[in-house]
A and B are shown apart, each in its own frame.
Chain A
Amino acid sequence: NAGVTQTPKFRVLKTGQSMTLLCAQDMNHEYMYWYRQDPGMGLRLIHYSVGEGTTAKGEVPDGYNVSRLKKQNFLLGLESAAPSQTSVYFCASSYSSAEPYGYTFGSGTRLTVV
């Protein structure tokens, strides 16, 4: 039982390049989320999904796209990376209406855009 797995763990991109971050969970969670963490700003929600085939915008969605083609996977894409997207990205998942509540987080992806 791996929980929530994120790949890659580290990445350096040049401005304008694209990349996809993968989040995979094996807990049969309905809900999945992408957050970014920046110093002094806590965790801010980028996009989230309440089920396979559905996505929704969070607090800071600009510059990112997501897809959830399978229940266990949630992909975060950067089409044209900018230095402002340098951050640590965390994926999380949770049950829908069933307890236990609370998120299970992945181990994070440290992205640097130069």
Chain B
Amino acid sequence: GENVEQHPSTLSVQEGDSAVIKCTYSDSASNYFPWYKQELGKRPQLIIDIRSNVGEKKDQRIAVTLNKTAKHFSLHITETQPEDSAVYFCAASIGGYQKVTFGTGTKLQVIP
């Protein structure tokens, strides 16, 4: 089955700096890559996703890039703010609706 590895497991940045979280996947058939944000004690929420026919997608301060050849994708957060502090999960699946395999999560701390 699919295996998703995520790095780093923890990340501390100063407010205003950028944060990058990287993930690799094993199944070349995977074609949908969502990112979820989970604030402390809350449910995971979808923040951005990308499909395999697109190399990059942006939504305000968040961007995701995908390298199909290398089978890795990354989340970029610019101009970080304290409210960005959370655990971020990458994921991969074949088709957006089939069972999704999650990475182990990155705890991001934005220091004011």
Pairing of A with B: yes
B: interface residue count bin: 20 to 34
A101 to B99, CA, bound (A): 12
Assess the A106–B43 pair: CB atoms within 8 A. yes
Task: Give the total of A residues in contact with B, Cβ under 8 Å.
Answer: 27
A-side contacts of B32, CB under 8 Å: 101
User: In A22-43, which residues have CB < 8 Å from any B CB?
Assistant: 30-31, 33, 35, 40-43
Assuming the contacts A40-B9, A101-B32, A108-B43, asked whether A45 and B99 have C-beta atoms less than 8 A apart, the reply is yes
Please indicate which of the listed interface residues A45, A58, A103 has the most CB atoms of chain B within 10 Å of its own CB. A103
Interface membership of A95, Cβ < 8 A: yes
Interface membership of A62, Cβ < 8 A: no
Assess the A102–B43 pair: CB atoms within 8 A. no
| Main secondary structure on A side of the interface with B | loop
Interface membership of A72, Cβ < 8 A: no
Assuming the contacts A96-B97, A108-B43, asked whether A59 and B1 have C-beta atoms less than 8 A apart, the reply is yes
Please indicate which of the listed interface residues A44, A97, A98, A101 has the most CB atoms of chain B within 10 Å of its own CB. A101
Closest Cβ–Cβ distance, residue A96 to chain B (whole Å): 5
Closest Cβ–Cβ distance, residue B13 to chain A (whole Å): 21
Chain B positions within 8 Å of A, measured between CB atoms, are 1, 6, 9, 32, 34, 36, 42-46, 49, 89, 95-105
